[in-house]
C-alpha cells in the first residue's frame, strides 16, 4: 500500500509550493488528480525508490464560515485519509491563533504528525522554530519549500517513521500466480457498484464484513470459467450500510491505491455524461502507472442513435492517448456487454504479463532494423545490438546499442509500433528503455 501524506496548515504557509515540489520530482508519474472539491489535490511523489501519495488540502484558517466551513471539513476528511500529516506553519509570519486551533485538532485526533516550519530561507532557522515548540507537537522541523531546502530530509524521515522500507534491488520478485487482479475505477455515479455486481454474478451471495476505513477497497476473490480473479471494488458495494459511507464511498486515495494494486484497470465512464475532465485525470494516472486498461462506457442503454454517434466521436477524439486499450459500450444495469469485458480483461492481462526471451526480442530487433536503419549521427550509424525484457505489467523492453541517446523520437516510435504489432501486445502500455554500452 502506498503511504499517504497530507499537507495541512492555514492559507499561505506554502502547502501548494511544497506539493508542487514533491510531485514534480516524479518524472513520468506526476499525476495531479484534483479532488471533487476545490481544495484537495492528489499527486504522487517519489523519493529514491519509495512512492507515496501526497494530498494538498486547501487551508484551515480557524474561523471558517459558509463555503469555507465546507472546505475546512474537506481538509479534515483528508487528514482522516492520511497516514501522516505534515502540519505547515510560516516561519516568517510567526505563530498565529489559527495554527493553535489546527494543532488542537491534530492533538485530539492523535494523528501521526510533524510540525514543519516553512520559509526559513534567509532567516535563522533555530530562531524561527523556537516559538512553535509551544504548539506541543514535538520538535519543529525547518524547511524552505520554495528552494527545496530540507524537503528530501523531511520526506525521508516521514517515510522512515512510517516504516516504509527502501525496496531491495536484489529482492526476489513477488511470486506470480495466474490470479488476475481487476480494479474497477471511475467517478461517483458512473455505475461502478452496478458493474461490480454484474461482474460477480447476481446469484453469488458474498458476505463481506471487512472492517476498515473509507480509504480501503474491498478485495473479492472469485472464479469464472476456471480463471481465478480478484476484484478490487473501490465503490464499496458490499459495505454501504450507512449513509455516511454512501456519501464518502468515492475516495481518490482509494482509487490510486487500487490502480497500483491491480493488473488490469477497468475504467468506467458514464456515456451519458461524456468524457469529463475528471475522467481524463484518472485515465492519465492509470496510464502513468503502467497498468493494463479496459475502458467501459456505461449506461449505453436507452440512448438514441444520434446520442451514441456523438459520444463515439467524442471518445475517439478525447481518448486518443488511451487508444491501446479496448473500448466497450456497455449497460451494467442490463448486463449488456459484460461478457465481452472479460475477454478484453483476459487479453490485456496476457499481454501485460507476457514473457519474451532475449533471443526472440533480439531477432525481432534485427528484423525491424533491417527494414529501416537508424540514422547516422556524427558520421556514425547508431547501432542497436540486442534487446531483453526488463519487466512485466507493464512490459519493459530494454534495447542495447551505441549512441542510443541520439536516437530520434520518430525512430523510437517506429520501433515501438513494430514491436507492439509483432508481439501482439493488446490492452497494456509498453515501455522502452535504451542503453548504450556493453
Ligand atoms: P498555501 O496557501 O499554503 O498553499 O501557500 P502557497 O504555496 O500558495 O505559498 C504562499 C506564498 O508563500 C507564495 O507566495 C509562495 O511563493 C511563498 N512561499 C512558499 N514557500 C516559501 C519558502 O520556502 N520561502 C519563501 N520565502 N516563500 C515561500
Ligand atoms: P457508482 O457510484 O459508480 O458505484 O454508481 P452506481 O453503480 O451506484 O450507479 C449510479 C446510478 O446509475 C444508479 O442509479 C444506477 O442504477 C445507475 N446505473 C448504473 N449503471 C447503469 C446503466 O448501465 N444504465 C443506466 N441507465 N443506469 C445505470
Q: Which ligand is nearest to the CA of 128?
A: 1
- What's the pLDDT score for residue 95? 94
Element (H, E) at 115: strand 113-118
Please state the rounded mean pLDDT for residues 68-89: 77
Q: Which ligand is nearest to the CA of 16?
A: 1
* CB burial string 20-36: b at 16+ within 10 A, e below: bbbbebbeebbbebbbe
Q: How far apart are CA 123 and CA 125, in angstroms?
A: 6
Return the minimum-mean-pLDDT range out of 27-36, 50-59, 185-194, 370-379. Answer: 27-36
Please state the rounded mean pLDDT for residues 87-92: 95
Q: In terms of pLDDT, which residue wins out, 167 or 249?
A: 167
**136 CB less than 6 Å from ligand 1?**
no
Q: In terms of pLDDT, which residue wins out, 276 or 66?
A: 276
- What's the pLDDT score for residue 417? 95
Ligand 1 centroid distance, CA of 12 (Å): 6
Residue 246 has pLDDT above 50, yes or no: no
- What's the pLDDT score for residue 252? 79
Which of these, 387, 393, 370, lies nearest to 433 by C-alpha position? 387
Q: In terms of pLDDT, which residue wins out, 19 or 76?
A: 19
Return the minimum-mean-pLDDT range out of 46-50, 58-62, 91-95. Answer: 58-62
> Does residue 85 contact residue 79 with C-beta atoms inside 8 Å?
yes
Give the best-scoring range by mean pLDDT among 30-44, 166-180, 355-369.
355-369
Q: How far apart are CA 176 and CA 189, in angstroms?
A: 34
Give the best-scoring range by mean pLDDT among 48-57, 80-89, 231-240, 356-365.
356-365
User: Left if phi > 0, otherwise alpha if psi is -120 to 50, otherwise beta: which for 266?
Assistant: beta
Which pLDDT tens digit goes with each residue over 184-195?
999 888 999 899
Nine-digit cell at 355? 514473457
Which pLDDT tens digit goes with each residue over 338-364?
999 999 999 999 999 999 999 999 999
* Banded pLDDT at 97 (limits 50, 70, 90): confident
Nearest atom within ligand 2 for CA of residue 187: 3
**125 CB less than 6 Å from ligand 1?**
no
Q: Can you give the pTM of this predicted structure? A: 0.80
Residue 213 neighbours by CB distance under 10 Å: 11
**186 CB less than 6 Å from ligand 2?**
yes
- What's the pLDDT score for residue 80? 81
Binding residue positions for GTP: 9-16, 56-60, 118-121, 186-193, 233-237, 298-301
Residue identifier of the C-alpha nearest atom 26 of ligand 1: 119
**188 CB less than 6 Å from ligand 2?**
yes
* Banded pLDDT at 35 (limits 50, 70, 90): very low
> Does residue 299 contact residue 241 with C-beta atoms inside 8 Å?
no
Amino acid at each position: 500500500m502506498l503511504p499517504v501524506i497530507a499537507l495541512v496548515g492555514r492559507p499561505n504557509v506554502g502547502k501548494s509550493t511544497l506539493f508542487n515540489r514533491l510531485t514534480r520530482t516524479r518524472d513520468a508519474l506526476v499525476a495531479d488528480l484534483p479532488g471533487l472539491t476545490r481544495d484537495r489535490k492528489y499527486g504522487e511523489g517519489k523519493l529514491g525508490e519509495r512512492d507515496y501519495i501526497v494530498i494538498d488540502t486547501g487551508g484551515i484558517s480557524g474561523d471558517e464560515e459558509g463555503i469555507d466551513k465546507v472546505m475546512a471539513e474537506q481538509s479534515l476528511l483528508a487528514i482522516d485519509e492520511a497516514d501522516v500529516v505534515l502540519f505547515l506553519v510560516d516561519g516568517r509570519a510567526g505563530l498565529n491563533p489559527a495554527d493553535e486551533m489546527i494543532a488542537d485538532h491534530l492533538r485530539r485526533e492523535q494523528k501521526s504528525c510533524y510540525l514543519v516550519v516553512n520559509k526559513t530561507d534567509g532567516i535563522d532557522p533555530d530562531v524561527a522554530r523556537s516559538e512553535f515548540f509551544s504548539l506541543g507537537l514535538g520538535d519543529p522541523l525547518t524547511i524552505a519549500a520554495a528552494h527545496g531546502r530540507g524537503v528530501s530530509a523531511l520526506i525521508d524521515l516521514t517515510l522512515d517513521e512510517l516504516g516504509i522500507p527502501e525496496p531491495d534491488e536484489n529482492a526476489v520478485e513477488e511470486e506470480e500466480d495466474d490470479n488476475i487482479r481487476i480494479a474497477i475505477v471511475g467517478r461517483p455515479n458512473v455505475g461502478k457498484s452496478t458493474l461490480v455486481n454484474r461482474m460477480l454474478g447476481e446469484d453469488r451471495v458474498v458476505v463481506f464484513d471487512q472492517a476498515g476505513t473509507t480509504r480501503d477497497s474491498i478485495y473479492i476473490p472469485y472464479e469464472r470459467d476456471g480463471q481465478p480473479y480478484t476484484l478490487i471494488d473501490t465503490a464499496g458495494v458490499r459495505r454501504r450500510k450507512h449513509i455516511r459511507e454512501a456519501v464518502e464511498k468515492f475516495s481518490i486515495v482509494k482509487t490510486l491505491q487500487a490502480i497500483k494494486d491491480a493488473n488490469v484497470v477497468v475504467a468506467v465512464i458514464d456515456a451519458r455524461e461524456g468524457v469529463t475532465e475528471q475522467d481524463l485525470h484518472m485515465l492519465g494516472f492509470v496510464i502513468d502507472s503502467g497498468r493494463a486498461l479496459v475502458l467501459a462506457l456505461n449506461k449505453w442503454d436507452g440512448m438514441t442513435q444520434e446520442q451514441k454517434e456523438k459520444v463515439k466521436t467524442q471518445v475517439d477524439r478525447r481518448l486518443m492517448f488511451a487508444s491501446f486499450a479496448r473500448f466497450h459500450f456497455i449497460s451494467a444495469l442490463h448486463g449488456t456487454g459484460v461478457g465481452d469485458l472479460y475477454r478484453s480483461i483476459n487479453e490485456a492481462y496476457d499481454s501485460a504479463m507476457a514473457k519474451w526471451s532475449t533471443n526472440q526480442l533480439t531477432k525481432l530487433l534485427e528484423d525491424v532494423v533491417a527494414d529501416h536503419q537508424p540514422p547516422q549521427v556524427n558520421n556514425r550509424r547508431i547501432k542497436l545490438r540486442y534487446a531483453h525484457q526488463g519487466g512485466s505489467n507493464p512490459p519493459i523492453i530494454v534495447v542495447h546499442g551505441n549512441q542510443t541517446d541520439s536516437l530520434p523520437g520518430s525512430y523510437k516510435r517506429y520501433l515501438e509500433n513494430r514491436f507492439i504489432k509483432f508481439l501482439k501486445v493488446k490492452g497494456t502500455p509498453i515501455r522502452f528503455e535504451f542503453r548504450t554500452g556493453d
